[in-house]
Structure 1
Amino acid sequence: MLAERVLPLSGIHNFRDYGGYDVEGGGKLRSGMLWRSAHHQDATPTDLGAVDALGIETIVDLRGDDERAAHPCKRSDGFSARVLFADGNTAGLAPHLQAAKGTIDNETARARMIDTYAGMPYRPVLVATLRLYLAALAEYDAPSLVHCVAGKDRTGFAVAIVHRLLGVHEDDLMHDYLLTNSAGKIEERIAQGGDVIRARYNADIPDDAIRTLMSVNPIFLEAALATVRRDHGDIATYAETVLNFTPEMRDAIVDKLVVY
């Protein structure tokens, strides 16, 4: 099942299909329509050709202006997809970098990741981009891709929101989130992330803390969802109140992405 979801690329980590799951009330999300990944700065020409072959027409970049400028995504010569993003900076920090903040041990890394996720539902750039993402899913009947830096934290939250709005069971929602820990070249991804974190803070951070920062954990996503439930009761109400999501938008997305 994992091999069927993951696109094995050399320079783009965690590239996978998050469709194909059963939804409440019957039906299943279409495969080949909903893609997620890390950034594409290190994409090879072969990678770019493989991405082009998917027919993706909309790319949603959850990163801020500063992150996109520092790590621009590579595109093929024939690239023609629309790229959606929200204006605004994020201090240049992906959640795993924000949580690091210098020399830390594994317990501190875990606690900071939980805290970072707990605030994720209200991060201004993320909220603004999620609004664009949901609107695009409602408008365009073609494959789309959502990504951030590592394709695990902000992207994981975005995918969880889409999954739940379309009726994917919470067990499957969490299963898809956790595939980050086994999708593609996970050990290479953790090692690369560790090099970046240690260099940024000039700190001797232990390997277990690096693994915590560069992986996903059910308690991380649950911290974000707990914030949503605390303030809004459920994801549907959060989406309506914060993300400007309407019943009409949901109907439009279901028509495009759910098969019976």
Structure 2
Amino acid sequence: MSPRILRFDAIDNFRDFGDYATAAGRRLRPGRLLRSAHHGRASEADLERLKALGIGAVVDLRRPGERRDQPSRRHAGFAAAVIEGGLDDGAEAPHIAFLKSADLTADSGRRFMDQTYRRLPFDPAYLDVFARYFRALAETDGAVLIHCAAGKDRTGFLAALTHRLLGVGRDDMVEDYLLTNTAVDLAGRAPAIARQLERMTGRVASDAAVVAFLGVEAAYLEAAFAEIEARHGTVDAYLEQAVGVDAPLRARIEARLSA
């Protein structure tokens, strides 16, 4: 098991995505960049462990309806800044709508994920949160924690985007992204998840379909960056033009997070 994966009772996919070498010959500080799934089921022991991590800002990438359905638990004395957003259109989350209506096959799961990742970098609700997140990286003394529901797609993309900004190499970026599959033991849990989906939808999903939809693959991340480059030319241009990370802000982030 990777030492990057931090074990909690009831918070899944909790990891440190710092402590990587950068192209500038420096290294990201450990314990400053954290990512996870939601905290709605956190145990009391989990809350104490979160308190000990010195978190200065929490970025919740979930839609408003998701936050209402599974509100985050907080420890006594919680004082971190909370960054959240999303358009409250009352609609089901796209992944829930997919599970209820689409063919539950590996191919359909991969097509859905490809489309999701190509849209994600340009969603106005997420762009606003991304912008506030990068400002928090430049201004927050403590650790910054990002999470969504499962901590794999929205969180995975934003963590990878952070790595790109800070000069983490592609191999390390992708390896970190793919750690989700280990952190949640997707292969081992696939049969039980398939049975749960059958109860929810009345349709049978193969283990391969579960892995394709609920896991992560390098191709998903590559689809997001390919769409960014198609629209903006480079990731750096996207960060500046769409997210507002100009050269001075980038320098402040690098100074705070690199050693």
Does structure 1 retain, via aligned residues, the 8 Å contact 2:32–2:142? yes
Residue 162 of structure 1 corresponds to 162
Does structure 2 retain, via aligned residues, the 8 Å contact 1:99–1:113? no
Equivalent pairs: percent with the same residue? 37
Does structure 1 retain, via aligned residues, the 8 Å contact 2:190–2:207? no
* Deviation, structure 1 residue 202: 3.5
Question: RMSD value over aligned CA atoms?
Answer: 2.0
Residue 208 of structure 1 corresponds to 208
* Deviation, structure 1 residue 25: 1.8
Residue 66 of structure 2 corresponds to 67
AA at the equivalent of 2:26: G
**What's the secondary structure of 1:144's corresponding residue?**
strand
Go from structure 1 to structure 2 and tell me whether the alpha carbon gap of 1:3 and 1:193 turns closer, same or farther (over 3 Å shift).
same
Residue 257 of structure 1 corresponds to 257
* Deviation, structure 1 residue 221: 0.7
Cα distance between partner residues in 2 of 1:128 and 1:70: 22
Give the alignment's TM-score, normalised by structure 2: 0.92
Go from structure 1 to structure 2 and tell me whether the alpha carbon gap of 1:189 and 1:52 turns closer, same or farther (over 3 Å shift).
farther
Cα distance between partner residues in 2 of 1:207 and 1:167: 36
| Alignment gaps of 5+ in structure 1 | none
Residue 40 of structure 2 corresponds to 41
- Per-residue CA deviation, residues 185-234 of structure 1 (Å, 9 max, x unaligned), is 54576567556644543332222211211100011111111100111112
1:62-141 matches, within 5 Å, as 62-89=61-88, 91-93=91-93, 96-97=95-96, 99-102=98-101, 103-141=103-141
Find out whether 1:27 has 2:29 as its counterpart: no
Cα distance between partner residues in 2 of 1:167 and 1:53: 29
Go from structure 1 to structure 2 and tell me whether the alpha carbon gap of 1:71 and 1:192 turns closer, same or farther (over 3 Å shift).
farther
**What's the secondary structure of 2:115's corresponding residue?**
helix
Find out whether 1:10 has 2:12 as its counterpart: no
AA at the equivalent of 1:58: A
Cα distance between partner residues in 2 of 1:190 and 1:225: 28
Does structure 1 retain, via aligned residues, the 8 Å contact 2:62–2:86? no
Does structure 2 retain, via aligned residues, the 8 Å contact 1:100–1:109? no
| Alignment gaps of 5+ in structure 2 | none
- Per-residue CA deviation, residues 134-190 of structure 1 (Å, 9 max, x unaligned), is 111111122110000100000011011111011111111111100111125545765
Which shows bigger deviation, 50-59 or 203-212? 203-212
1:228-247 matches, within 5 Å, as 228-247=228-247
- Per-residue CA deviation, residues 99-150 of structure 1 (Å, 9 max, x unaligned), is 4343421111111111111111112221111111011111112211000010
Give runs of ≥4 in structure 1 deviating > 6 Å: none
**What's the secondary structure of 1:119's corresponding residue?**
helix
Does structure 2 retain, via aligned residues, the 8 Å contact 1:11–1:44? yes
**What's the secondary structure of 2:256's corresponding residue?**
helix
Give the alignment's TM-score, normalised by structure 1: 0.92
**What's the secondary structure of 1:58's corresponding residue?**
strand
